[in-house]
Structure 1
Amino acid sequence: MSRKPSPTPTKTKSELDASSTSSSGIAGFFGFDRLETNFRTEVLAGVTTFVTMAYILAVNPDILSNAIFLQESGDLFGELVFATAISAAIATLIMGLYAKYPFALAPGMGINAYFAFSVVLGLGIDWRVALAAVFIEGLIFIVMSLSKIRSRIVAAIPDCLKHATASGIGLFIAYIALTSNSGIIVTSETTTTTLGNIAAPNTLMAIAGILITAAFVARRVKGALLIGIFATALLGWILGVAPWPQGIVGFPSFPVNIAGQAFVGLSQVFQNNIWNLLAVIFVFLFVDTFDTVGTLTGVGVKAGFVDEQGELPHAEKAFMADAVGTTAGAALGTSTVATYIESAAGVSEGGRSGLTAVVAAILFALAIFFTPLLSAIPPFATAPVLLIVGVLMAGSITEINWNDPAESIPSFLTILFIPLSFSIAEGLAVGFISYPLLKTFQGKAHETDFAVWILAAIFLLRFVFLALEIGA
């Protein structure tokens, strides 16, 4: 028996009459009566969801710029804003109209950092080839969503490694916030890393931004992350640490230099180390799968959609939204698209139908006209958001069974290796190889799914080939 969706706040008769009169067709399509909601509630929920995750419009271009700016001449920030906003709009619109769930999607945090810092800058893979890997991942996701293989893989992966991956990614993006985006932590020949010059203007602004953003989050202000970005940027503009915006509204910058480059990358795939690329594609698949599954489950429970078996009805339709969104996003020039936990904000406001997602999608599409404002936001203003998101993701660490060495050791190694190796792939590899081995040492090899052994073997082979390449 399915759990009944949580009722929305009671509306007056005039409000219900007005909403049903003006939107009877919409109400029927989205099932307002069954979900006990109305047009006004859904619109407000959609606006709330957009505001809480609109920070991605500044943060994602900033992160991806680290990879593309170093390989291309010219300012592509505006094009990345376009790619971010439109990929989010496409995926969220599919979620609303096809899956009919109040969940919003956008290029995922954490995986965008992996794309920029680990794949492009770390492995030296051309950003076009990296986009091709995202595009391939999207196509694989579409097939997996149609065949329900995705659900099978999710069930096979140990829960401790899922939580460890989320926690490790949280530390990873927080580390990026403290180093690349703020200068709070810098390199040192003596101690490897050390505290930076906190008297430097950009570093001072980042520290102030962390305090400002944390205060909004602590007060549970709606849109705290977005407000924190603009408050920090405004402080930097006023103090002259960063130049003022050249404008607020302007014509969008169509991504002529990045759109379609994934197809160029496809022609160059076999010119790269195939083992590195396979590992990259797997990480994209793994992180996006569990990011989306975790969000759908968590927000689904809050909305009352998840049944007593812990399953989300028509989950394959929700999976299809992020699969198509990822494919479209790669074609436009951005990293993997995923479902956002910030969707819970709209659900908390009473959003229960796909109209919530449709409203958020429309607002994402309109956001491309605010590129002049977004492009003026300095890196020190996005550092606080990365840090806070890292805190939220690291919360998954409490779900790990620390009393079982066969779970705690692989989990700890995964969490530790992701930020220290500056690579989600390396952290996953260590976790997947050590988990089945420790279970075997415990005499519990039968508790390990065969799929985990296969993944462990793949990662082990990758290490062997990397060692042979270095030795050669």
Structure 2
Amino acid sequence: MKDTLKRFFKIDERHSNLKTEMIAGITTFMTMAYILVVQPALMVGNAPSLIDVNGILITKEAIVVTCAVVSGLITLLMACYANLPFALATGMGSNALFGGMLVNGEISFGGIMSMTLISGSIFLLLTLFGIRDLIVKTIPSNLKIAIGTAIGFYVAYLGFKNSGIGTFVNGISRGDFTQPSVYLALLGLIIIAVLTAKKVTGAILIGILVVTVLGIPLGVTTVPESLFKVPSFEGLSNVVFQFDWKSVLTWSAVPLIFTAFCGDFFSTLGTILGVGAKAGMLDEKGNFPDIQKPFLVDAIGTCVGACTGNTVITTFVESSAGVEAGGRTVFASVITALIFFAMVLFSPLVLMIPNAATGPALIFVGFLMVQGIKNIDFSDFTEAFGPFAMIMFTIFTGSIAGGISSGIIAHVLIKTLTGHYKEVHPFLYILCIPLVCYFIF
């Protein structure tokens, strides 16, 4: 059985082993497990359920179940079709945008799913016609490197924010260091760093588990009454294939669809290039071979997600945690997918993992990813200004889509205004039009 798995997943060919791949798959899930808690919280709010403007009852339990199932299915598709150790789930950004409007009664749940489906369909068409691949290849090498670096800073930002080590409400400042959760997060970061320095396999996962256990007596980790719970399927019919096409036939829907599309596109682009660079999957020109395959999976994921009551499905930057843990084959993604499926029954386990445990893991992964900044060529200012803007905007706005869009616009502007306009690919000029609209809307 063991030899069969190794041959099927080509584990020896990628110089890995079953144990390492399993740890990588588990690590990826542990760092992105928060989405199963955050997604229903953003879409429904603090209460267990809400009734939208069309009188449809939306429950957190239904969102959790569909989110877990779809995340598992699309991650499995990424493994089987694209042959990549990447995991997918509902991406941060569009869920916060749409969820806030849903909770405030500004839009119906069906309207959100309709807009998400349109966004995913556009994504799918661009992928099938090869336009997404063209967009990637027309981006200069310096910008591609900066994308991975910017993603690294964003991952670290999430870690600081989620763990409470830093606060980002009224400017950037230190968190409340009187809280035990903050001390545990710092301890987790130290544990991960020391174990990594000693080349211990699964250092990130070990750090997460240790902090989770230590958080029990300190009241940081909440132990559920039961680790097993059969979900209630009562509310699933209200979120599956729930569309409200009337909401789309308004001018206000245009910027919302565009925002969802841009957020999905650049988040996926940044993640694939960033995580791919960390895994050594880019070619000598900084391109990702067969990039249309993960793009296609991502586009299909968004369409399937919309049909099952989920906002934009995207490739998660947290996949880098699994790659850093040694994941190089699709077996890691299969493990991640299976755990997502299991969470339908063992959802209480997800609630048990505190931010104090996942936060330091994200900070450490961010540190590892920003090391790519050393490969940016700073000898030509017109080539370096775009990457600088991209990284700074990502850091200080906390937005991957905004940061990457800013970097591309800055690159085109500096080249054009200094007389180097011929060095810019014509497609970049066209791309800047919707990017500018993205900021305006």
Counterpart CA distance in 1 for 2:193 and 2:112 is 33
Structure 1 residues 187, 288: closer, same or farther in 2, change over 3 A?
Answer: closer
Q: Contact conserved, 2:120 with 2:261, CA < 8 A, in 1?
A: no
Deviation track 1:184-222 (CA, whole Å, cap 9, x = no partner) reads 33655xxx4432331123333333333334334444444
Q: Contact conserved, 2:165 with 2:175, CA < 8 A, in 1?
A: yes
Counterpart CA distance in 2 for 1:195 and 1:396 is 26
Code of the residue aligned with 1:141 in structure 2: it is: F
Matches within 5 A, 1:286-365: 286-295=266-275, 299=279, 301=281, 316-332=292-308, 333=310, 335-338=312-315, 340-341=319-320, 344=323, 351=329, 357-358=333-334, 360-365=336-341
Counterpart CA distance in 2 for 1:322 and 1:222 is 30
Q: Does 1:166 align with 2:148?
A: yes
Code of the residue aligned with 2:269 in structure 1: it is: T
Q: Which of 365, 369, 373 matches 2:349? A: 373
Counterpart CA distance in 2 for 1:243 and 1:42 is 34
Look up the match of 1:284. Answer: 264
Deviation track 1:405-442 (CA, whole Å, cap 9, x = no partner) reads 11222221221122323333432343222211211233
Structure 1 residues 398, 328: closer, same or farther in 2, change over 3 A?
Answer: farther
Q: Which runs of 4+ in 1 moved over 6 A?
A: 35-38, 122-125, 306-313
Deviation track 1:95-147 (CA, whole Å, cap 9, x = no partner) reads 34444x25342227xxx343355675599886956665554343333333333
Q: Which runs of 5+ in 1 are unaligned?
A: 1-14, 467-472
Larger radius of gyration: 1
Look up the match of 2:429. Answer: 453
- Tell me by how many angstroms 1:314 deviates: 5.6
SS at match of 2:379: coil
Structure 1 residues 228, 335: closer, same or farther in 2, change over 3 A?
Answer: farther
Q: Which of 29, 33, 38 matches 1:58? A: 33
Q: Which of 64, 75, 88 matches 1:92? A: 75
Matches within 5 A, 1:46-125: 46-64=21-39, 67-70=42-45, 73-74=48-49, 81-99=64-82, 101=83, 103-107=85-89, 112-116=91-95
Structure 1 residues 458, 370: closer, same or farther in 2, change over 3 A?
Answer: same
Look up the match of 2:365. Answer: 389
TM-score for the superposition, normalised by structure 2: 0.78
Q: Contact conserved, 2:86 with 2:333, CA < 8 A, in 1?
A: yes
Look up the match of 1:407. Answer: 383
- Tell me by how many angstroms 1:400 deviates: 2.1
Counterpart CA distance in 2 for 1:126 and 1:363 is 33
Aligned residues with identical type, % of pairs: 25
TM-score for the superposition, normalised by structure 1: 0.74
- Tell me by how many angstroms 1:448 deviates: 0.7
Structure 1 residues 254, 135: closer, same or farther in 2, change over 3 A?
Answer: farther
Structure 1 residues 84, 213: closer, same or farther in 2, change over 3 A?
Answer: farther
Code of the residue aligned with 2:254 in structure 1: it is: I
Alignment RMSD (CA, Å): 4.1
Code of the residue aligned with 2:371 in structure 1: it is: G
Q: Which runs of 5+ in 2 are unaligned?
A: 51-58
Look up the match of 1:143. Answer: 125
Counterpart CA distance in 2 for 1:93 and 1:37 is 21
